Structure formats: C-alpha cells, structure tokens
Amino acid sequence: MRSWLAALVPVFAATFALAQPATDGRRTGYQDMSPALQQMEDDDSANPGMLFVQMGEALWRQKTGGADKACADCHADGSMKGVAARYPAIPAKGDKPVDIEGRINLCRTGQQKAEALRPESEDLLALTAYVVQQSRGEPIAPPDDPRLAPMRADGEKIFKQRQGQLNLSCANCHDDNAGKKLAGATIPQAHPTAYPVYRLEWQTLGSLKRRLRGCLIGIRAEPYEVGAPQWVSLELYLMSRARGMRLEGVGVRP
Amino acid sequence: MANVMVNAPKTARKGEVVQIKAIVLHPMETGYRVGTNGQMIPRNIIERFTATWNGEEIFDMKFSPAIAANPFVTFFATASESGKIGLRWKGDNDFDVEHSVDIAVE
C-alpha cells in the first residue's frame, strides 16, 4: 500500500505542466501528445532532457575563459528563475534583442572572456537547458519594451507570410489547421513552452531555432542563416502569442 | 563526461520487488549511417549493461545498434539486503561508466 502511494506521488507532483490557464483555447504541444510521452516529460528520472540539465549545471559551475570565471561566480543558485519566460529581450548594455542562447554567449564573450559557444552545440544546449529549467511553471511574460515592437511585428509578418515551394505560411498550419492531423500527427498551435526540447525524432536536445528550421525545410522554403535576426523576430512573436502560458522547462516531444 | 540518471528507492522492505530505472547519455551511433562527407559514421554503441546488488549480478543486458540514443532501462529486483546497487555500461571506444546508488533494506 505504501509503495503504491509512493508511486502516485511523482504523478501528482508532475501534473502541474498540465495546469495551463487554458480558458482561451490555447493548447501546448504537451496537451496534444500521448499520456506515455507526458509521463516521460514529467518524470525527471525518465526525461532525457534532464541529462542535459545536469550537464548544464556542471558547466555553470566550471571556470572558463580569460577571466577564469564560472557563471556561478556571478549568478546565485536559482537566480535564473523566470528569466527564460522573458526572453528574447534587449540586454542592459545592448541595442539588439537576443534569445537565451545569445544572452549566454554575451556573458561568455563579455564577462568570461571565453569564445562564444556554437549554436546547437551540446554545451550551449546544456547551459540553456539548465537556465530554462529554473523557469519551469513560470508564465511566459514578454517584456513591454517598445524597442522590441518592430521586430515582433517582423516576426508576425514572417509567421503569416506564405513562402517556399509549397507556398505555405506558419499560420496556415498552426493557426488555421491546428488540432487537425498532418500525416498522423496532431498539428500543434506552435507555442514555444518546452524549449530546448528533447525530440525523440532527433534523439537529442534541440533549440527552437532547430525546430523552426525543420518547419521551413518542410514547406520547402530556404531556412534563414544561423544567427540571422529573423529567428529572434519569430521567437519574439511566438513568445508574445504564448503570453501567460506556462513554461514546461525542458520538454519531450515525439 | 559520464552523464547518468538513476531512479531507485532509497529504502525497501525485505522481499519487496523494487523498480530501478537508469538512463545514460550516449549517441548509440549505429554504424550504418553515412555522414555529410559521404563516409560511413563508425559504430559507437553501448554493448553491455549490467547491474549488481552488493557485487552480485542481478541484471545483464546486451545492447544492439537498433537501440535509441540515451538508452533508458527499467528493471526489477527483489530487495534482499542493504547495500549498493551498482550499474555499469560498457561499449565501443572504451566507453565504461559506473554508477552506484545506496539502498537500505529493513
């Protein structure tokens, strides 16, 4: 009996990810995937993304670069809570919006005097995962910075612009046909609540940029170059579209 | 860097069947794929996963190239005595990772 109860505790503790303020019809990909995958995401000992969170924590405490400083030397434990819910944002000493990965690299080049980490590299994904995980359960809260508005508008334009050989826009699937099936899979509403995400198809962790690139290739459009501002614009728009929805931390998707 | 997550109960009653879950970070490269340079990507898999309870073997599994990256294994054992559950993954390129967790049996 006791062990039966003990087995239920993690299930109840984990169902918070389901607790989206779902009154307005917005749904996360989490809500559309199978119970087995939901359990995989919720159980920290089964979610393969947690391996990267662990790795990210080790990197967070590791001194590096010309300044021989670790992230943990400046930032207290747990101080990244809520940060992922605000990004992309314009950093204090900058004028261009950056995403979380970009922000980590700014700290690396500026404070640690180390080389920027390559996009989609294991180290950058792991550090991002560690930072994002601390915002698990936090509602997405894009900043009301007026300087972000033009780029957010760009992102909305890209989202609604037909492109590629299939002449489809993001909105054609993710606004107009969300919830219907595409080749057996439910089309999600494209709310970025679980990035970086462990996709079973990738067999590894990947960023929102990688996911968007996959969609662009899918509609046979040419993906933007690595580091192009369009990625940040799109992310800005997607985050404002998902305002108030709860971040899942490092998620699992099929 | 060996990266492992193990989920096993910290305590158990004598004779109780306990569930042990273990996941290890590993690419499980099949050896059948061609890279972007046209060359075969050499096989890099875990070949063997074994578990011991106070040194005595309780679980042994042979892995194949068809197993996905970051393999996740769940198995059961009957709690007999307090001690250490030892887990070991061995594979290509001298991959050899050991991890152990303590369990108290009352």
Summarised one tens digit per residue, pLDDT across range B81-102 is: 999 999 999 999 999 999 999 9
How many structural domains are present in chain A? 1
Q: Which residues of B touch A60 (CB under 8 A)?
A: none
Specify the pLDDT at position A23. 62
- In tens digits, what is the pLDDT along chain A, a chain of 254 residues? 444 444 444 444 444 445 565 568 899 999 989 999 999 999 999 999 999 999 999 999 999 999 999 999 999 999 999 999 999 999 988 889 999 999 999 999 999 999 999 999 999 999 999 999 999 999 999 999 999 999 999 999 999 999 999 999 999 999 999 999 998 889 999 999 999 999 999 999 999 999 999 999 999 999 999 989 999 999 999 999 999 999 999 999 99
Q: Does A165 touch chain B (CB under 8 A)?
A: no
Q: Give the closest of B3, B5, B16 to A45, CB-based.
A: B5
* Residue A213: its H or E element: helix A208-218
Q: Which residues of B touch A46 (CB under 8 A)?
A: 7, 21, 23, 72
Q: CB pairs below 8 Å between A and B: how many?
A: 38
- A34 or B2, which is more confident: A34
**Can you tell me the distance from the alpha carbon of B80 to that of B26, in angstroms, rounded to the nearest whole number?**
31
Q: Which residues of B touch A54 (CB under 8 A)?
A: 3, 5
Instruction: List pLDDT tens digits, range B23-39.
Output: 999 999 999 999 999 99
CATH number at residue A105: 1.10.760.10
Please give the order of strands across the beta sheet that includes A197-199.
A204-206, A197-199, A252-253
A215 is catalytic: yes
**Can you tell me the distance from the alpha carbon of A30 to that of A36, in angstroms, rounded to the nearest whole number?**
11
Specify the pLDDT at position A13. 45
Specify the pLDDT at position B2. 61
pTM for the whole thing? 0.89
**Can you tell me the distance from the alpha carbon of A185 to that of A243, in angstroms, rounded to the nearest whole number?**
25
Domain spans, chain B: 4-105
Retrieve residue A153's tokens: 């508008």
**Can you tell me the distance from the alpha carbon of A97 to that of A235, in angstroms, rounded to the nearest whole number?**
11
Q: Which residues of B touch A62 (CB under 8 A)?
A: none
- A1 or B76, which is more confident: B76
**Can you tell me the distance from the alpha carbon of A144 to that of A28, in angstroms, rounded to the nearest whole number?**
23
Q: Does residue A15 fall inside a structural domain?
A: no
Specify the pLDDT at position A24. 81
Q: Looking up tokens 């004028």, which residue turns up?
A: A95
A202 Rama class: left (phi>0) / alpha (psi -120 to 50) / beta? alpha
Q: Say if residues B29 and B41 touch (Cβ distance below 8 Å).
A: yes
Q: Which of A1, A39, A47, A51 best tests the B interface by mutation, with the highest count of B CBs <10 A? A: A51
Specify the pLDDT at position A19. 55
Please indicate whether, in this complex, the C-beta atoms of B23 and A203 are within 8 angstroms of each other.
no
Q: Does residue A96 fall inside a structural domain?
A: yes
Containing structural domain, residue A81: 24-254
- Go through A92-107 and write b for each residue having 16 or more CB atoms within 10 A of its CB, e for each that does not: eeeeebbbbbbbbbeb
Specify the pLDDT at position A172. 95
DSSP code, position A38: H
Please indicate whether, in this complex, the C-beta atoms of A203 and B69 are within 8 angstroms of each other.
yes
Q: Which residues fall within 8 angstroms of residue A41, CB to CB, at 6 or more apart?
A: A17, A30, A47, A49, A194, A248, A251, A252
Q: Does residue A3 fall inside a structural domain?
A: no
- CATH fold of B4-105: Immunoglobulin-like (2.60.40)
Length of chain A: 254
Specify the pLDDT at position A11. 46
Instruction: Detail the DSSP E strand segments found in chain A.
Output: 181-182, 185-186, 197-199, 204-206, 252-253
Residue B5, min C-alpha distance to chain A (Å): 6
Q: Does residue A12 fall inside a structural domain?
A: no
Specify the pLDDT at position A5. 46
Residue A203, min C-alpha distance to chain B (Å): 6
- Go through B46-75 and write b for each residue having 16 or more CB atoms within 10 A of its CB, e for each that does not: beebbbbbeeeebbeeebeeebebbbbbee
